[in-house]
Structure 1
């Protein structure tokens, strides 16, 4: 049996405890080391290993009772693609909060400590008696985990990583750690909720505030909040007269907050869990985007090319960024031009779709 990781054009073969693993640049050392500690029996949940490699290795080595789940649509898709390439049966499942009963949970520790405590606490509540959480983290430090587990042992440590075995959960699952904050915009006073680990969990960021202050929402129009987070953009668009709002994000944690906020304000809207904008069907009169700044331009390129194909004639796309040069060139190539507003280090760029040979208002 073998595992194939479809992560690039390179070719590298590793043999990890008897299993051939093919990938582009090799399996990260912490995930290769983890295989030493994966159990030989019991019910196992892989909650977000790199490329789904833990679940795939378990399937290839011993056809274990293992499931793969996560909150990231992109990671779920990659794990599914790798399972198909490896000819292994694995059906990745979107999951947040964690649920079910497991003997072992494998988890990649999120960078934010509050998010780690939230997810590790959920894992603790899902463990069967005698169960374990195998946590792949950036260091052997266990801040926050001592309140969740009686025993925390670093079973392997490398440069920039550690594997912690956490056992003997201390108590029942805690409620989701909601954070509430006020937002005042365009004459509306809103109270919103967020969760750890999502974008700007403590309040409205300056870029989104600029976009919502300046965007012209079409009355009765169809609006897409692309990369919606906890939903503030779409909620304000609804308050300003949008006829229909669609919310799309790849993060199920963010969408959990988004659904909570939509319901709390007595609104409706389709909520889509996907990393691909094409999952949103139909055309739109307005598309609003606050793209990730830390990534390369692959995601913004997909978003803007989607907008060029899915805007109705006369429709507008709004995108707020810190470094506008690439976006200006891309909008000019797709739409023929753009408008620009700069404030507090952010640039709001907007373009209108005008069909070839047609006129728009």
Structure 2
């Protein structure tokens, strides 16, 4: 965890200021996102009623609006970020609840207002899907506020709102960010912008089906690092295997296709675990799938093999938590096999292991084996 960041309150109700803890893996952990701040200012005085904050990051909008709302529900596709939202709500005394959700269509409550600030790397199809699904959670006449920069596809999201509702207003444009608002029509059905990609991957001649979704790493293909790790894993019959940071589940599925083993797949992203569940079903593999931050969801289990292609872009905090945590769920003679780009050095994150050795090298990647 890093921070905290301090933000002055924008309304008379509630505390004079808010403090937000952040961490690697969150968007903009070192400073507030401009679009979230502009969105929060736009919501002040908007009589939010029952409010839905979509993709809440570490909770700036949801926590900041709680004092003037009847109720607040924050959603996050990331278990790690959802933990931050819950912590920040509790420490700021905000009556705001958080759920790890990838599909807003699963929400049964109806809201008066909703808000969303797409991140710059969000695929447009996924951003549009969230806008459409957020509108579907609103009561007729309810308002959706969307804050986006041009770099995050702001004009395309405004066009999407117009197409879905027949009208869209720009209520502010400042600091390179615009906030758009639209009302849910009396009759509304959310269209489908996001479609899964289904394909067959092969490792050492062994075929297996995979399902990916927009917003995932290596969507629609099997990346070279994962392929190298799968070919190197050497899983034995009877092994208990954990596919850590599973994505669509290729490592766990390949292990189950090549050995009589049990497999568990876990990922921080609810989008990834949805895809992994579909991949297991398509492959006919009986395995468990858990959405959790690192090994938090399997802390009481033990594994002979932990296979991991970690999100090296997520920062040192995430890597240390992932790889250090893996040692706690290994059996006494278990092994962590992790793949990374050859230009990276993961040794600082593997200090809790008694031995670390190079297992395989590819054109761009290295697989290392770490033992407790």
Shift of 1:34: 2.1
Match of 2:117 among 91, 108, 118: 108
1:51 aligned onto 2:62: no
Q: CA contact under 8 A between 1:105 and 1:134: conserved in structure 2?
A: yes
> TM-score under structure 1 normalisation?
0.86
Shift of 1:304: 1.9
SS at match of 1:326: coil
Q: CA contact under 8 A between 2:264 and 2:287: conserved in structure 1?
A: yes
2: CA distance, partners of 1:97 / 1:84:
25
- Cross-structure match for 2:19: 23
1: CA distance, partners of 2:259 / 2:232:
15
Match of 2:335 among 316, 319, 323: 316
1:209 aligned onto 2:203: no
1: CA distance, partners of 2:260 / 2:301:
16
Q: CA contact under 8 A between 1:114 and 1:197: conserved in structure 2?
A: no
2: CA distance, partners of 1:349 / 1:120:
42
Shift of 1:50: 4.1
- Cross-structure match for 1:78: 84
2: CA distance, partners of 1:52 / 1:200:
28
Shift of 1:174: 3.1
2: CA distance, partners of 1:270 / 1:320:
22
2: CA distance, partners of 1:86 / 1:279:
26
Q: CA contact under 8 A between 1:46 and 1:66: conserved in structure 2?
A: yes
1:120 aligned onto 2:131: yes
Shift of 1:168: 4.8
2: CA distance, partners of 1:82 / 1:202:
36
Q: Which ranges of structure 1 fall in alignment gaps of 5 or more residues?
A: 1-5, 354-361
> Where do 1:163-312 residues align within 5 Å?
163-168=179-184, 171-175=188-192, 176-280=194-298, 281-312=300-331
1: CA distance, partners of 2:53 / 2:32:
16
1: CA distance, partners of 2:349 / 2:57:
32
1: CA distance, partners of 2:103 / 2:7:
36
SS at match of 2:155: coil
Q: CA contact under 8 A between 2:169 and 2:180: conserved in structure 1?
A: yes
Q: CA contact under 8 A between 2:38 and 2:174: conserved in structure 1?
A: no
- 1:305-359 C-alpha deviation (Å, 9 max, x unpaired): 2222322233221111114553145446623231242212111112234xxxxxx
1:92 aligned onto 2:98: yes
- Cross-structure match for 1:356: none
- Cross-structure match for 1:40: 47
1: CA distance, partners of 2:135 / 2:265:
31
- Cross-structure match for 1:8: 3
Q: CA contact under 8 A between 1:308 and 1:335: conserved in structure 2?
A: no
Q: Which ranges of structure 2 fall in alignment gaps of 5 or more residues?
A: 21-29
SS at match of 1:151: coil
Shift of 1:239: 1.0
Taking only aligned residues, the RMSD between alpha carbons, in angstroms, comes to 2.5
Cα 1:197–1:324 shift into 2, 3 Å: same
Aligned length: 346
2: CA distance, partners of 1:352 / 1:7:
29
Cα 1:337–1:191 shift into 2, 3 Å: closer
Structure 1's consecutive aligned runs of 4 or more residues displaced over 4 angstroms after TM superposition are 24-27, 168-171
Q: CA contact under 8 A between 1:328 and 1:349: conserved in structure 2?
A: no
- Cross-structure match for 2:24: none
